[in-house]
Amino acid sequence: MSTDGTRPATSQPWLHQHGRQIQEFGTVRQFPLALSRDARLYSCQRLNRILADTQILYALYKKHHWLVRGHTFYQLHLLLDKHAGEQLALVDTIAERVQTLGGVAVGDPRHVAEITAVPRPPDGVEEVPAMLSRLLEAHEIILTEAHDAAARTADLGDDGTNDLIVSDVIRTGELQAWFLAEHLVDTPLVVADG
């Protein structure tokens, strides 16, 4: 450091830096949002649970996209990747809402694993119906949490969080669950009964 307290100009990166934590997870900062601290804290807690589950759902979609096999490989490979992209967009939207409320979004995968309610899949490859069923179960976990969180955040006057949960999380989840469930209907591929 120079005598005036500034660092000298250099092209060398300042590597291996460590700093103090400036906001703890589970806390909210005060922002002029016309929402009480308690409402914002509650919304952040609920959003972080949905965020953790959504991050796991995104990862499951990518895993199954890579590992899907069989007659419907091409269609499911593309569908699962499309759904993964939509879940990734939700991850960013939910995390930014937490930050907007003054909270700290869960981001580290190890922390996500501690919070999520979505069960861990086997490390290997499952049969396609099991993969799709696993994705449907994850959607139902998220949708159950989202419906309850939407109602409770609305009661607290947090219309922004309610809108995000209903318009983005629930509607996306319901549509994706429908697309997956239709792949589990056992109908003839070529010949109809009759």
Please tell me the predicted confidence (pLDDT) of residue 4: 72
CB 180 within 8 A of CB 149: no
Please tell me the predicted confidence (pLDDT) of residue 6: 79
pLDDT, average across residues 185-190 = 78
Q: 29-67: per-residue pLDDT in tens? A: 999 999 999 999 999 999 999 999 999 999 999 999 999
Radius of gyration, alpha carbons of the chain: 21
* Other C-beta atoms lying within 10 Å of the C-beta of residue 13: 7
Long-range Cβ contacts of 77-84 (<8 Å, 24+ apart):
79/179, 79/183, 83/135, 83/176, 83/179, 83/180, 84/58
Give domain limits for the chain. 37-183
Q: Does the structure show a pLDDT above 90 at 145?
A: yes
**What is residue 10's three-state secondary structure?**
coil
Please tell me the predicted confidence (pLDDT) of residue 3: 65
Please tell me the predicted confidence (pLDDT) of residue 186: 86
Please tell me the predicted confidence (pLDDT) of residue 65: 97
CB 128 within 8 A of CB 70: yes
- From the list 163, 160, 168, 166, the residue with the least C-alpha distance to 34 is 160
Please tell me the predicted confidence (pLDDT) of residue 1: 59
Find all residues with CB under 8 Å of 69, minimum gap 6, and list them: 125, 128
pTM: 0.91
CATH superfamily of domain region 37-183: Ferritin, core subunit, four-helix bundle (1.20.1260.10)
Res. 124 pLDDT band, cuts 50 70 90: very high
pLDDT, average across residues 99-111 = 97
